[in-house]
Amino acid sequence: MITQKKLSTKIGIYCLLVLGVILSIGPFYWMLIGSTLPSGEIFHLPPKLLPGDYLAKNFQALNESLGIAKIFWNSIFIAIVYTIASTFICAMAGYAFAKFRFKGKNFFFFIILFSLMIPFQVTLIPLFELMVSFNWLNTYQAIILPSLASPFAIYLMRQNMQAVPDSIIEASRVDGAGELKIFFSVILPVTRPTLAAVAIFQFMSQWNSLLWPLITLNSKEMFTLPVALSSLIGMARIDYGQLMLGTTLSTIPIMIFFLVLQKQFISGILGGSVKE
């Protein structure tokens, strides 16, 4: 009896899980199928559930309208440079806020936290004017530089670095390590999960970012993937096949990035929540 009951709960749970899988994978599957169909056929009733033979044509059309290689390069270059530089800067800032004593420390930290509450739309126009006066419109640096020091990442880094025992740092000092050496050889290695979590956050936010690149970039050769995909949505003409293929292509790198760093990502987030 008991085992039967267990079995039936198990079946129930699995049914729910299968349903969840279908619900979460369904849209992705539809996107994949859509990228292999010509635009008109995507709307057929009943919907086509098997891949069509239009993939190459969609790719050709997409490449013609966007120049997909350059767009990919733009997105990857910007996201990687941004992720590395931003993670590094935020780690340094977080370390300073966690472990150093200096005048106005709490005040500055409060300012940083406070800036989390300012919506981006408020700073959009002044920032844009700044970019124009630097003559930075349509450049990589206009996208990479303004958001390098991310308040959220600094906050996350600080919380995690506080958990690093002072005694490690003191021991290193006693052993004669300089401050930089301590930071690079002691602090960074022990906070690796947090670094990975921050890196994923920064990478995802930059990879998916639409508004700011849209405002600052003007020519097709400089577009990032989201801006380029958005430009595919025409006034009265939308080639849905192209759009689906473009979306599929743009999700692949982020999936890979996430799968590679997934373990660190989860432990990094949990690491911030519990302190011993």
Partner 1 sequence: MKKYMSLMLVVLLLLLAACSNKTTSDQGKTGDSKHPSGTITVWGWDVAAATMKASVEKFQKQYPDVKVKVEDFNSSDLYDKLTVGLAARGSGLPDVVLMEDERIPGYVHQFPEGFLNLNKLGFNKYTDSFNPAKVASVQKKDGEFIAAPWDIGPAGVFYRVDFFEKAKVDPNSIKTWDDYIAAGKKIKDATGAQLLPIDIANYDGVFQMMMQQQGVSYFDKNGKINLQSEEAKRAMATIKKFHEEDLILNNNGWDGIVTATVNGSVATIPYGVWYAGTIMDQAPDLKGKWDVFYLPSFTDEAARFANVGGSSLLIPSTSKNQSAAYAFTEFFTTDQESQLLGFEKYGLFPSLKETYSAPQFTANSEYFNNSPVFKRFADIVGQVPKIYLNENFAKASTITVNAQAAILLENKSVDKALTDAQKQLENEIK
Q: Residue 238 Cβ, how far from partner 1 at the closest point, in Å?
A: 7
Stretch that binds partner 1, among 49-57, 166-174, 176-184, 249-257 (CB under 8 A): 176-184
Q: How far is CA 103 from CA 48, 108, 130, in A?
A: 66, 9, 30
Site for partner 1 in 194-223 (CB under 8 A): 211, 214-215, 218-220
Output the smallest distance, CB 235 to partner 1, in A. Answer: 5
Q: Does 232 bind partner 1 (CB under 8 A)?
A: yes
Tally the C-alpha atoms within 13 A of residue 4's C-alpha that lie toward its C-beta: 1
String of DSSP letters for 62-117: HHHHH-HHHHHHHHHHHHHHHHHHHHHHHHHHHHHHHH---TTHHHHHHHHHHHTT
Using CB under 8 A as the binding rule, whether residue 169 contacts partner 1 is answered as no
Select from 17-25, 50-58, 73-81, 177-185 the region that touches partner 1 (CB under 8 A): 177-185
Residue tagged 């930071």 (tokens): 183
CA 14 to mean position of chain CA atoms: 31
Instruction: Please tell me whether residue 172 adopts helix, strand or coil conformation.
Output: helix
Output DSSP code: residue 40.
G
| Per-residue interface string for the shown chain with partner 1, residues 115-134, x marking contact by CB under 8 A | ---------xx--xx-xxxx
Q: Which of 179, 185, 256, 262 is in the footprint of partner 1 by CB under 8 A?
A: 179
Residues at the contact surface with partner 1, assessed by CB under 8 A: 39-40, 43-45, 124-125, 128-129, 131-137, 139, 141, 178-180, 211, 214-215, 218-220, 227, 230-240
